[in-house]
A and B are shown apart, each in its own frame.
Chain A
Amino acid sequence: MKTNDVILQSAAKLVVFVILTFSAYLFLSGHHEPGGGFIGGLMSAAALVLLALAYDLDTIRSVLPVNYRIVTATGLLLAILTGAGSFLFDRPFLSHAFDYFTLPLLGKTELATAVLFDLGVYLAVVGVTMTIILSIGEDR
C-alpha cells in the first residue's frame, strides 16, 4: 500500500525538532518546574515515533542508527552509578547533593547530582519505549 504522506512528512520534519527541543527543556527544568527525566524521555520517544509514523522504520534506522537496548542499558548504568557514587563519600546509596555555582553566561546556577540520576531515567525511558515500539512495529 503506497500512500502519499507529503503533508505529514513535511510537518514532521519541523515538528520533530520542536518536540525534541521541548523535551530537552522539560528534562532540564524538571527540578523546579513541571517536567523531569520520565516526561522528557517519553516526549523524546514520542518525537521519534512521529518520525516513524511519517516515514517508515528503515528511514528511522538510517537517520538514527542507534541500538535502543544499549540506550536502556546506559541509562540504567548511569542511574546505578549515580546511586553508587554516594559510597565514595561514605553516604548511603542514592544520597544526592546540590549546590549553587556561578557559571559564565548562565549566572548563578544550581547543579545537582539528581540531574545525573534523572538523565539515567531519561535514557532508560527512551530506550524502553523505542525498543518496544520498534520491535512490535517491525514484526510482520
Chain B
Amino acid sequence: MLLHAAVLLPLLFTIFVPLLYKAFPKLHTGWAVLAVPVVLFVFFVMQIPGQMNGGSAQSAAIPWIPALDISFALVLDGLSLLFALLITGIGALVVLYSISYLSRDKEAIHRFYVYLLLFMGAMLGVVLSDNLIVLYGFWELTSLSSFLLIAFWYKRDRSRYGALKSMLITVAGGFAMLGGFVLLYVMGGTFSIRELVAGLDGFSGDALFVPAMLLVLLGAFTKSAQFPFHIWLPDAMEAPTPVSAYLHSATMVKAGLYLVARMSPVFAGEAVWFWLVSGVGLATLLWGSYCAVRQTDLKAVLAYSTISQLGLIMSLLGIGSAAAHQGMAEDAVAAYAGAIAAALFHLFNHATFKGTLFMVVGIVDHETGTRDLRRLGGLMALMPVTFALALVASFSMAGIPPFNGFLSKEMFFTGALKAAELSLFGVPGWSALFPIIAWAASVFTFIYCMIVVFKTFAGRFKAEALDHKPHEAPLLMLVPPAVLASLVIVVGLFPGLVAGSLIEPALAAVLPAQADAYHVKITMWHGWTTELFMTIGVVAVGIALFLTLRYWQGIYALLPGRLTFNRVYDGLLRVLDRGSLFLTGRYMTGSLRHYLIYIFAFMIGLLGWMMLRLDVLGGGSPVYAELSFYEVVLVAVIVLAALAVPLAASRLTAILLTGAVGYIVSLLFVVLRAPDLALTQLIVETVSVTLFLLCFYHLPKLRKEMAPLPFKLGNALISVGVGLVVTTIALVVSGARKFDSISDFFIAQSYELAGGRNMVNVILVDFRGFDTLLEIMVLGIASLGIYALIKLRLADGEGGERLENK
C-alpha cells in the first residue's frame, strides 16, 4: 500500500499546486512542491537495507480490471529502487534549483510544477509497475508530461516544434511497445512481468517471440533517443533547463534503458537481442559524441552528449545480455554480468555529472543571457564556483580519475574488450569492432567535455558579446549542482558506497539467474591493464584533437552533409500533412447534398447487398396482424401528406405538412395502444415544427429549382433506394424472430424489481438507465455544439473566418 501511495502522492499533489499558488501569493510554489520528492526520497532510502544482500522484492497489488488481467501491481526490487532514488533525488534537487531559475512573477510556475509532479508520479509508476498495461499507461503519461514541459514556453515556435517532435516519436514507439506487450500476453498468458519471467520456458521458442522483442525494443529505443530516433532530444532542449536536467537527461530518457534492463530476463537469451541492443547502443554512442563536438549551443552539446551516453549504457546492457546465454563458462558469465553492473553504475554516474552540467549551463544561461559558445568565454574569474562544478562534472564525463565517470568508463572498456572475444553468434570478426568504436567514441566524448569547460570558462572574456556583466549565481542556485558534484567525487573515491547498496541489488533484478556468479566490486586501480592504456590513449589523442579542433572541423561540413534524419522527419511530416489535406479535400466538399449522397448511398449499398446476400426475402413468410379500419385511414392520410411535401409551394406549407405526418404517426401510436410513445411523438413534433419555423424564417423564398435531368434522376434513384431498403427491413424484421422477446421479462419484472407499473419509464430510468444517461449527455453536447456554432459567428463578423485560419 505504501508503494501505491508513493506513486500516487505526486499525482494527487498536482491538485493542490494551483490552490497553493493562489492562496500564498508571496510564496514561491516550489517550496511547497519540494516536500513531495524529499519525502519520497527519504521513503525510498529507507527501503535500501531491505533490498541489500539478496533481500526479496516488495510487492503490492490492487485489482483493477481482473477480467482483462490488469491489476495495479507494484513491485520494488533493486532495479526499481535505483531508478526510484534517481527520480526522487534528482527531482528534489531540480525543484530546489527551479525555485531560483523560474521567477514567480514572470513565469506560470503553477503550471510548471503541475507538469513536473505529473511526470514524477508517472515515472515512478513506470519503474514500479509489474503489470505491462499499467506500465504502458504510465509510460505514455511521461511522454505527455514531457510534451507539456517542452512546450512550457509555448509561444515560441521552436518549443512547439520540439514538443510535437518528441511526442510523435516517443508515442509512436510507445504504440509499438504496446503491440509487443500484447504479443507477450498472447504467448505467455499474463501481463505480469514476474509471471512472464517465471513462465519463460513455455514460450521462448514461439514464432511471435522475436517480433514481440522488436516491438518492445522500438519503444525503448525511441524513448531513450537511440539512433536513428535520437533526433527529438536536441529539439527537446527548448524546455526550461531544470526540465532538461530532470527529464531529458536524468530520468525520462532512461525509461528506455529501464525497459531494456527490466525485460532482459525475458529476452536476453536471444542472439537478436544481443546484436540489436549492443549494436544500436554503439551506433548511438559514436554518432552522438561525434555530433556533440560540432554544436555551438551549450545545451545542444549536452543534448548530443546525453544521446551518446545513453547509447553507451544501452550497449553495455546489450553486451551484458550475453551472460544469460546457455553454455557460458563461469568466468565469462561473471564478466558479462560485470557489463550489466557497469551499465547500472554508469546510469547512476551519468545522472550525477550530467545533472550537474545541465544546472551549470542553466546558471551560465541565466547570468549571461546566452548559451552560444561563440559568445562565451573567460567566465572562470567571474563565476569561480560554477567553473569548479563544471570542471568536476566534465572531467568525470570525460573519464578522468578520480571521478566516478572514470570508474564506469573503465568498466565499459572491460565490457567492450570482453565482447570482442565473443564468437558465439556468427562471424567473430565483427565483435572486434566493439572496443574500436568504444575507444573512438570516448575520444570524441573527451573533446566535447573539454569544449564545455574551456570554451565557456577559459579564454578571453567577450564582454562586448553579452548584454550585461555576468556574476556568480545566487547560493540557492549553486546548492543543487554542488550536491551532485560532491556525489561525483565521493562516489569516485569510495565506489563501495553504492556498489553493494544500489548496484548489486539492481544487478540481481536484471540477471536473476546469474546473480550469484558475480559480486560488484569497483576499484580505482587494477594494475596496468589494457583498459588503463585505452584511457591514456583517449586523453592523449583527445587533448591533441581538442587543441587542433579548428584544423579538422571541416569534416563536419562533409558528413553528415545534406541527408540528415531531421530532414527525413520533416519530410514525412510534410507528406502526411499534405496527403491528408488532399484526401480530405476530395470528399469534404462543403456541399450538404454530397454528404447526404455519401450517407444514403452507403446505407443502400451495404444494407441492400447484405439483404441480397443473406436472401432475407426468400426465407419464411412473415405473419402480419390484421389491419383495422382506423389504421388504414391513418396510413392513407400519412401517405397523402408525405406526397404533398415536395409539391408544396412555400416553405411554411412544407413544414406544416411534415408536421402533419408526425402528428398522424402519433395518432397511429394511440390506435396501437402505446400512449407513452404517442405523447412523446406529439411533443417532439410540436417542438421540431417550431424549430423548423425558426430556422426557415431566415431562408430565402422557395423557388422552383431548374436542375438538369441527370441531377433529378440521381436524386430520385437515391430516394427510391432508401425507401425500398427501409421498407424491406421493416417488413422482414417483423417477420423474423431469432430470439425470444425481452418484453416478457420487462412485463413480469418491472413492478417486482423497480416498483413501477409504467414499463416504458422503468426501462428508461432503471433497466436501461445507462442508455438514458448517455443519451441525455449526447443531447447536452449537441446543444452546446449548436450554441457554440451560432454564438461564435455572432461574436464578430469575421469570427468564423479568423478561427479557421488559426
Chain A positions within 8 Å of B, measured between CB atoms, are 26, 30-39, 42-43, 45-46, 49, 53, 69, 72-73, 75-76, 79-80, 83, 93-94, 96, 98, 110, 112, 114, 117-118, 120-121, 124-125, 127-129, 131-133, 135-140
Cβ distance A3 to chain B, nearest Cβ, rounded Å: 14
| Nearest B residue to A98, CB-CB | B755
Give 25 A-B contacts (CB < 8 Å), ordered by A residue: A30-B761, A31-B757, A34-B679, A35-B761, A36-B765, A39-B676, A39-B683, A42-B680, A49-B686, A49-B687, A69-B787, A72-B779, A72-B780, A79-B772, A94-B770, A96-B766, A110-B755, A112-B754, A117-B765, A128-B782, A128-B783, A129-B783, A131-B783, A132-B787, A133-B691
Closest 6 CB pairs of A and B: A98-B755, A36-B761, A124-B776, A34-B675, A42-B683, A32-B757
Tell me, rounded to whole Å, the shortest Cβ–Cβ distance linking B312 to chain A: 51
A98 near B783 with CB under 8 A, answer no
Check B758–A79 contact: CB distance below 8 A. no
**Does chain A have a CB within 8 A of B690?**
yes
**In the complex with contacts A72-B780, A121-B765, A39-B679 CB distance below 8 A:** yes
Q: Is B607 an interface residue (CB 8 A)?
A: no
List B residues 744-764 near A (Cβ within 8 Å).
Answer: 754-758, 760-762, 764
- What chain B residues lie within 8 Å of A129 (beta carbons)? 687, 783
A34: which B residues are within 8 A, CB to CB?
675-676, 679, 758, 760
Q: Is B573 an interface residue (CB 8 A)?
A: no
Contact with A along B151-167 (1 / 0, CB 8 A): 00000000000000000
Q: Interface of chain B, helix or strand or loop or mixed?
A: helix
In the complex the two chains form, is B694's CB within 8 Å of A137's CB? yes
Q: How far is the CA of A139 from the CA of B790 in the complex (A)?
A: 7
Nearest-CB distance from B592 to chain A (Å)? 17
B731 on the A face (CB < 8 A): no
Q: Are B786 and A39 in contact (CB under 8 A)?
A: no
Contact B783 A49 (CB under 8 A): no
Residues of B within 8 A of A118 (CB): 761, 764-765
Give chain A nearest CB distance to B655 CB in angstroms: 14
| A24–B63 alpha-carbon span in the complex (Å) | 45
Contact status of A94 and B773, CB under 8 A, knowing A31-B758, A135-B787? yes
The residue in chain B whose Cβ has the minimal distance to the Cβ of A131 is: B783
Number of B positions contacting A (CB below 8 A): 41
Please list the residues of chain B having a beta carbon within 8 angstroms of any beta carbon in chain A. Answer: 675-676, 679-680, 683-684, 686-687, 690-691, 694-695, 698, 754-758, 760-762, 764-766, 769-770, 772-773, 776-777, 779-780, 782-784, 786-787, 790-791, 793-794
Contact B779 A112 (CB under 8 A): no
Query: A133 touching B694 by the CB < 8 A rule?
Result: yes
Complex Cα gap A45–B794 (Å)? 25
User: Which of A37, A124, A128, A133 meets B765, CB within 8 Å?
Assistant: A37
Provided the pairs A38-B764, A131-B783 are in contact, do residues A79 and B687 lie with their beta carbons within 8 angstroms?
no
Cα A73 to Cα B790 in complex, Å, equals 19
B547 to nearest A CB, angstroms? 71
A6→B524 CA distance, assembly (Å): 103
On whether the beta carbons of B787 and A39 are closer than 8 Å, the reply is no
Known contacts A114-B766, A133-B694, A135-B787; is-contact A73 B780 (Cβ 8 Å): yes
A35-B761, A120-B776 known; A131-B784 Cβ under 8 A: yes
Give CA–CA (A124, B675) in the complex, Å: 23
> Are the C-beta atoms of B690 and A49 separated by less than 8 Å?
yes
Chain A residue with minimal CB distance to B751?
Answer: A32
A127 contacts B780, CB within 8 Å?
yes
Beyond A34-B675, A98-B754, A117-B769, 8 additional pairs, beta carbon < 8 A: A36-B761, A72-B780, A79-B773, A83-B773, A94-B769, A118-B765, A120-B776, A131-B783
How far does the alpha carbon of A42 sit from the alpha carbon of B684 in the complex, in Å?
7
Contact (A36, B691) CB under 8 Å given A76-B776, A120-B776: no
Residues in B whose Cβ lies below 8 Å from that of A114: 754, 756, 762, 765-766, 769
Most central of B687, B783, B794 by chain A CB within 10 Å? B783
Residue of A nearest to B770 (CB): A94
Q: Which residues of A contact B683 (CB under 8 A)?
A: 39, 42-43, 46
- Is B680 in contact with A39, judged by CB distance below 8 angstroms? yes
Distance in angstroms from B681 CB to nearest chain A CB is: 10
A36, B764: Cβ atoms closer than 8 Å: yes
If the complex has contacts A34-B676, A36-B676, A45-B687, are A136 and B756 also in contact, measured as CB distance less than 8 A?
no
A72–B783 CB distance below 8 A:
yes
Q: Are B769 and A127 in contact (CB-based, < 8 A)?
A: no
> Which B residues lie within 8 Å of A139 (CB)?
698, 790, 793-794
Alpha-carbon distance A30/B756, docked complex (angstroms): 9
Which residues on A sit within 8 Å (CB–CB) of B772? 79, 117, 121
Determine the residue in chain A with the shortest Cβ distance to B778: A128
Q: Contact check, B769 vs A133: say whether CB atoms are below 8 A apart.
A: no
Contact A136 B694 (CB under 8 A): yes
Known: A36-B765, A96-B765, A114-B766. A31 touches B755 (CB 8 A): yes
Closest residue of B by beta carbon distance from A30: B761
Interface centre among B758, B773, B786 (most CB of A within 10 A): B773
Chain A residues with CB below 8 A from B676, complex form: 34-36, 39
